[in-house]
Structure 1
Amino acid sequence: MDCETHFNDITTRTQGRFVVSIPLKASPKILGESLGLAKSRFKSLEQKFSKEYQFSRMYKNFILEYEKLNHMQTIGEVSEVNLEEAYYLPHHGILRMHSATTKLRTVFDASARSTSGVSFNELQLKGPVIQDYLVSILLRFRQYKYVVTADIEKMYRLVLVSKDQHKMQIILWRDNENKALSVCELSTVTYGTTSAPFLAIRCLVELGKLCEREFPIISNIILHDFYVDDLLTGFDDIHIAKESCLKLCEVLGSGCFPLRKWRSNFPDIMHDLKEGKLADSSEGLVIGEDDVAKTLGISWMSKTDKLIFHIDVEMKGECLSRGSYPSSLNNSNIWWQGPYWLQESPDLWPKDNKTSIPLPEIKTTLVAVSEFKFPFERFSNLNRLRRCMAFILRFIKNCSSNKENRSFGVFTTTELDNSLKLLVKLSQISSFNKEYNDLKAVNEIDKKSKLLSLNPFMDTSGILRVGGRLQNSNFQFNKKHPMILSSKHHFTKLFFEQEHKNLLHAEPLQLLYNIRETYWPVAARNLARSIVHKCIQCYRLKPKSVQPIMGNLPSGRFLSGFPFQITDTDYAGPFHVLNKRGRGSKIMKGYVCLFICLATKSIHLEFVSSLSTEDFLLALKRFISRRGKPSQIYSDHGTNFIGANRNLKALYDFLTQNECLISDSMNNQGIRWNFNPVQAPHFGGLWEAGVKAMKYHLKRVSGKSNFTVEEFTTLLCQIEAILNSRPLCPLSTNPLDPSPLTPAHFIIGRPLTSILEPVMILEKESRLSRYQKIENARQHFWTRWYKEYISELQQRSKWKTNHGELAEGILVLIKDDKLPPLNWKLGRVTKLFRGSINISRVSEILTNNGTVIRDFSKLCPLP
């Protein structure tokens, strides 16, 4: 049974606290007697008590606290207790005066062998590593704007051990040499046992898993931002930071894991935390202080927001004997915890022991652990990735150098170049692992490899380069043998993005050309296009709006009745007219107000002298007087129309509220006004086409001449007649077919006060009166309208498919015809309005200045 299965099967909880069972790989029966060694070690400890008063006082306070917290229970004196299959833990103390809280660390030595030669630790399963490596946590920690650290107080001791295993965690204790030795059993996970890290961390991970669905941010912090009991996390939003810290306290509190020593580079984050959770007077956190050797003594100073490494290396003099190592490094290799370790090269040291020479530079190499992948995906910026790697390399170099040779301050060009080369190498190992290993081992690659055409080789730094055919050229080495990159690797993507910016947003071909001067990205044309396409700066200069499929025609287009029953209206202009003939005339602006029937495309043109609500209402009254009152009017979102709508509503309210004073026929004849979305002219395609057709004739007749108002009005009437004589459907080539159906067929002869008439088409013409014959002709026009015209509306002339799409939550550029593209506002889609065929064409956008509603044609989703 492995540790994970054992934990899932045995672990329980009592009042929120986890109760675990120590995972054993063998029976405790193989343990021999351990009481004698425990007695001997305790007597040595008491001798130290007698010599060091402060140490003695701190140690006794620690044991007293252990007992008060019920983490330990006394079961009797040594002479009275007889336990089978028990294990007595020797214990000793380590003073750490640099620690901000725990100056004394008591170590329980579960590795001490019993008389059978087996220790308690050898019985235990160690368990897998279930937290991120420290280097990953550190690199991620440095990416955030607001960072927070804390640690769990007494983490191991917050997890209970099942009662039947207490006898395997026995210690001896007395606070006075004159007393008898007492036998005490430890009831919590004990520091110093093999399984302790896994059991404590696994309980923490369990809390993270339990809250994953309800609190995903907190779950991610617990699962990925803890190194043992140390929390190193960060946020880019101050409000999320505050809320997450409070919620994290709550979630961990449910498992009885209190957080302490809170620190942040932004003090405001600490204000909302409960009293007692705040940091003490110290400003730093020692990361992984329970195991300094593994974590290299890394400290973070919150006030200066810097990582500090405490390296205790003493160098006596400048010279060493040949063949010897510095005493501080000898027999204690410096290890980089996690993905890499520092490997020293002893062969570089001189072998003649008779002569002293200056301390040589220790050559170091990074050896990747096979099961670890460098977290490239954690970075969104090449410069930041490059600096992080330079930071790691400098740190390793400083570990192996004396004080005079250590580097501090700003990174040098050499350090940054070395870090870039190492990143290239790591990306090659990740992308071309088989080719890399083949070249390293036998200096050739498989014949089926996709790199075969490049004739790759490995240089002295272990980097794959193109062999190619340019060896005899005079080009530089990097040009002849560029470093190989995979276009699918995240590092290559970051590199392309950086070069695109360095080249002032070059086009794809130029971007690829410049990169190939030093690097050879495999199959990178698509990547170059993708980088340019997704560049926000480039996109803002050439944004692409969303264009849904052409919508279905509104029901008003198929409503048979009198012309202008449902009307669209729009303005065109300005046009210049003369206020009078002869001398002293002045040029004034004028506009054309267009009314168009939604069903028959009949057009009515009115001259308007200004863009005021009053002038529009006068034009509307003239239109109604000659064409009849429409039931609905559609228009753009112009301010003059908005004002008109308010006036019409007041007029309609007046009419309906005073129905006793007007005839019954006027009761329900109010005009309903409909506005299209703001800045969406294509929603009124019918009237936009009418305006275009009107301007076509007007420009050709007027030229550069200026007409008087009367002349201009007469010209509009003539254009109106021409437009109303256009065929509604294609002409037939058969000479026997009737004249084409036009809007004029539906206008001529219709009284403004007509009432609905019975159907006359089925009646014989000889039986009809003259009036009925006229009505029969009108109805005949509508029959042709159904048969000839409506069928022509079936096809979509453009926007035949959807181009692009929008979804709630995405960022968009909002087109503004009055501003250049770089100044267009950014907004976030908060709501989509779906039409009758379940296709969205209008959305609600949240901007810095509030919420606006825009048609899709004005929105450009960011890549």
Structure 2
Amino acid sequence: MGSVPTICNAAVSSLTACCVVEEPINTLVKRFWELEELTASPVQCAEDVECDVFYRATTARDPTSGRYIVGLPFCEDVFSLGESYDIARKRFLCLERKLEALPNLRSAYDEVITEYIDKEYISPAPSDDSSKSLLPMYVIPHHGVVREDKASTRLRIVLDASSKTGSGRSLNDVLHSGPNLQGNLFEIILNFRIYPVALTADCRQQFLQIVMRDIDRRYQRILYRFNPQDPLVLYEFNRVCFGLKSSPYHALRTVQQLVSDDGSKYPRASEIASNALYMDDIAFSVMKAEDGVAASKELIDLFKTAQWVLVKWNSNSQTVLDSIPASHKLTKEVEFDKSMQHKILGLHWSTQSDYFYFQVAPREQD
């Protein structure tokens, strides 16, 4: 039997009393064996097995940067994709009219695209050579989502990879989603507050730090231009992008691969990354502030080997916060706000008072 961690006073105060009920000995013995019996691992479906086999066979790592290189896990023939350029062009022209009518949105959109170009997340699509000219391509319509609650970048460009082509099939239709590797949210939240010192962090641009192999970039193309008078430019994503059916799997599976490859050098961080990650959010707790200092440093170092940067660190321990580089912490406006409120995994967490709460918007009266 494993040891049970000490529960903090706040958690103890919420426990309710239970009465004792006597049960027949045969019922108790049966229950004992049911509890002690090892639970069999869930059986993966054939599609999930195929997807993971493909990942292991095609994933590589750049020896210089340490970045992982993956491929798109197709579940159907790519030739089932029909014409997509004209559809994406019509969608972009509609978006462009909106951008021209809203200068602030146009400026924000241009800024994101410029960042993508500067960081080589996207680049102009090459002219198809003879070896690739017979392969189909997929041009993805896109739009912007403005998040008023974001502390940093408020505009996120979302790719609509579910847009149907002329054949009635979309890119997402022909991709594996992969096995569900998402952690159990309820367990993560419980473990996040089981010890006195709590920490959270965010993996910056998690998808975009994973390289897409060259042959599959033709299925990640978008149209854009900075001025309506300029010709449309066809770009392609060089990285895993937001909006693809397979992208969440790529992100979480690659974290697993990182732990497998480099975890022995960072044992504390590896355990946390394996159990406390919910997509790009990490939430965990430790017994003492010194443990939090050591764990955060290990996590930053582990993720850095794959060119991932853990940012927006927050904690209910000032000792832990003082140990984290300023560039990796939440912005001062949020960190030093009087209420010290921070959103974690859909909940709001007040680091100063150390409690969870929900924000509810009053419903407007008709």
Structures share a fold, TM > 0.5? yes
Matches within 5 A, 1:756-767: none
- Please tell me whether the aligned partners of residues 131 and 224 of structure 1 are also in contact (alpha carbons under 8 angstroms): no
Q: Distance in 2 between matches of 1:47 and 1:121?
A: 27
Q: Distance in 2 between matches of 1:195 and 1:260?
A: 24
Task: Name the CA shift for 1:186/1:260 in 2 (closer, same or farther; >3 Å).
Answer: same
Deviation sequence 1:729-756 (CA, Å, 0-9, x none): xxxxxxxxxxxxxxxxxxxxxxxxxxxx
Matches within 5 A, 1:161-240: 161-240=212-291
| Aligned pair partner of 1:47 in 83, 89, 97 | 97
Q: Distance in 2 between matches of 1:254 and 1:84?
A: 35
Q: 2:349: which partner in 1?
A: 300
- Please tell me whether the aligned partners of residues 189 and 196 of structure 1 are also in contact (alpha carbons under 8 angstroms): yes
- Please tell me whether the aligned partners of residues 95 and 105 of structure 1 are also in contact (alpha carbons under 8 angstroms): yes
Task: Name the CA shift for 1:91/1:55 in 2 (closer, same or farther; >3 Å).
Answer: same
Task: Name the CA shift for 1:265/1:237 in 2 (closer, same or farther; >3 Å).
Answer: same
Q: Distance in 2 between matches of 1:46 and 1:60?
A: 11
- Please tell me whether the aligned partners of residues 149 and 285 of structure 1 are also in contact (alpha carbons under 8 angstroms): no
| CA deviation after TM superposition for structure 1 residue 214, in Å | 4.0
The alignment status of 1:3 with 2:3, answered yes or no, reads no
Q: TM-score, normalised by structure 1?
A: 0.35
| CA deviation after TM superposition for structure 1 residue 275, in Å | 4.1
Q: Which has the larger radius of gyration?
A: 1
- Please tell me whether the aligned partners of residues 181 and 253 of structure 2 are also in contact (alpha carbons under 8 angstroms): yes
Matches within 5 A, 1:756-835: none
Q: 2:71: which partner in 1?
A: 21
For 1:195, the aligned partner's letter is S
- Please tell me whether the aligned partners of residues 193 and 284 of structure 2 are also in contact (alpha carbons under 8 angstroms): no
Q: Distance in 2 between matches of 1:84 and 1:10?
A: 19
Any idea what SS the aligned residue of 1:276 has?
helix
Q: 2:80: which partner in 1?
A: 30
The alignment status of 1:139 with 2:187, answered yes or no, reads no
Q: Distance in 2 between matches of 1:276 and 1:34?
A: 41
Q: Distance in 2 between matches of 1:129 and 1:195?
A: 11
Task: Name the CA shift for 1:5/1:57 in 2 (closer, same or farther; >3 Å).
Answer: same
Task: Name the CA shift for 1:162/1:156 in 2 (closer, same or farther; >3 Å).
Answer: same
Q: 1:254: which partner in 2?
A: 305
Q: Distance in 2 between matches of 1:12 and 1:76?
A: 23
Q: TM-score, normalised by structure 2?
A: 0.80
Q: Distance in 2 between matches of 1:271 and 1:5?
A: 43
The alignment status of 1:57 with 2:125, answered yes or no, reads no
Any idea what SS the aligned residue of 1:271 has?
helix
- Please tell me whether the aligned partners of residues 192 and 284 of structure 2 are also in contact (alpha carbons under 8 angstroms): yes
For 1:51, the aligned partner's letter is A
Deviation sequence 1:433-484 (CA, Å, 0-9, x none): xxxxxxxxxxxxxxxxxxxxxxxxxxxxxxxxxxxxxxxxxxxxxxxxxxxx
Q: 1:538: which partner in 2?
A: none
Q: Distance in 2 between matches of 1:71 and 1:10?
A: 20
The alignment status of 1:108 with 2:159, answered yes or no, reads yes
Task: Name the CA shift for 1:167/1:77 in 2 (closer, same or farther; >3 Å).
Answer: closer
Q: 2:60: which partner in 1?
A: 12
- Please tell me whether the aligned partners of residues 137 and 225 of structure 1 are also in contact (alpha carbons under 8 angstroms): yes
Among the aligned pairs, what percent are the same residue? 27
Deviation sequence 1:487-540 (CA, Å, 0-9, x none): xxxxxxxxxxxxxxxxxxxxxxxxxxxxxxxxxxxxxxxxxxxxxxxxxxxxxx
- Please tell me whether the aligned partners of residues 84 and 166 of structure 2 are also in contact (alpha carbons under 8 angstroms): yes
Any idea what SS the aligned residue of 1:247 has?
helix
Q: Distance in 1 between matches of 2:281 and 2:169?
A: 33
| CA deviation after TM superposition for structure 1 residue 274, in Å | 3.0
| Aligned pair partner of 1:264 in 309, 312, 315 | 315
Q: Distance in 1 between matches of 2:259 and 2:123?
A: 31
For 1:144, the aligned partner's letter is Y
Matches within 5 A, 1:682-693: none
| CA deviation after TM superposition for structure 1 residue 9, in Å | 1.2
Deviation sequence 1:406-445 (CA, Å, 0-9, x none): xxxxxxxxxxxxxxxxxxxxxxxxxxxxxxxxxxxxxxxx
Any idea what SS the aligned residue of 2:202 has?
strand
- Please tell me whether the aligned partners of residues 91 and 107 of structure 1 are also in contact (alpha carbons under 8 angstroms): yes
- Please tell me whether the aligned partners of residues 125 and 221 of structure 2 are also in contact (alpha carbons under 8 angstroms): no
- Please tell me whether the aligned partners of residues 76 and 182 of structure 1 are also in contact (alpha carbons under 8 angstroms): no
| CA deviation after TM superposition for structure 1 residue 96, in Å | 0.8
Q: Distance in 2 between matches of 1:184 and 1:279?
A: 33
- Please tell me whether the aligned partners of residues 222 and 236 of structure 2 are also in contact (alpha carbons under 8 angstroms): yes
| CA deviation after TM superposition for structure 1 residue 131, in Å | 3.0
| CA deviation after TM superposition for structure 1 residue 302, in Å | 2.2
| CA deviation after TM superposition for structure 1 residue 65, in Å | 0.2
- Please tell me whether the aligned partners of residues 21 and 162 of structure 1 are also in contact (alpha carbons under 8 angstroms): yes
Deviation sequence 1:216-252 (CA, Å, 0-9, x none): 3211110111110011111002212111111111111
Any idea what SS the aligned residue of 2:328 has?
coil
Q: Distance in 1 between matches of 2:254 and 2:197?
A: 27
Q: 1:622: which partner in 2?
A: none
Q: Distance in 1 between matches of 2:223 and 2:263?
A: 43
| CA deviation after TM superposition for structure 1 residue 102, in Å | 2.1
- Please tell me whether the aligned partners of residues 158 and 243 of structure 2 are also in contact (alpha carbons under 8 angstroms): yes
Number of residue equivalences: 307
- Please tell me whether the aligned partners of residues 110 and 226 of structure 2 are also in contact (alpha carbons under 8 angstroms): yes
Matches within 5 A, 1:635-674: none
Matches within 5 A, 1:71-90: 71-75=121-125, 84-90=135-141
Any idea what SS the aligned residue of 1:188 has?
coil
Deviation sequence 1:361-397 (CA, Å, 0-9, x none): xxxxxxxxxxxxxxxxxxxxxxxxxxxxxxxxxxxxx
Q: 1:287: which partner in 2?
A: 344
- Please tell me whether the aligned partners of residues 263 and 302 of structure 2 are also in contact (alpha carbons under 8 angstroms): no
Q: 2:118: which partner in 1?
A: 68
C-alpha RMSD over aligned residues? 2.0
| CA deviation after TM superposition for structure 1 residue 144, in Å | 1.5
Deviation sequence 1:17-41 (CA, Å, 0-9, x none): 0000111101110000001110011
Task: Name the CA shift for 1:29/1:272 in 2 (closer, same or farther; >3 Å).
Answer: same
Any idea what SS the aligned residue of 2:125 has?
strand
The alignment status of 1:316 with 2:356, answered yes or no, reads no
Q: 1:786: which partner in 2?
A: none
Q: Identify the structure with bigger relative contact order (alpha carbons < 8 Å, sequence gap 6+).
A: 2
- Please tell me whether the aligned partners of residues 77 and 180 of structure 1 are also in contact (alpha carbons under 8 angstroms): no
| Aligned pair partner of 1:160 in 195, 206, 211 | 211
| CA deviation after TM superposition for structure 1 residue 308, in Å | 2.8
Q: Distance in 2 between matches of 1:177 and 1:233?
A: 48
Q: Distance in 2 between matches of 1:163 and 1:87?
A: 14
For 2:170, the aligned partner's letter is S
Any idea what SS the aligned residue of 1:94 has?
strand
Any idea what SS the aligned residue of 2:234 has?
strand
| CA deviation after TM superposition for structure 1 residue 128, in Å | 1.5
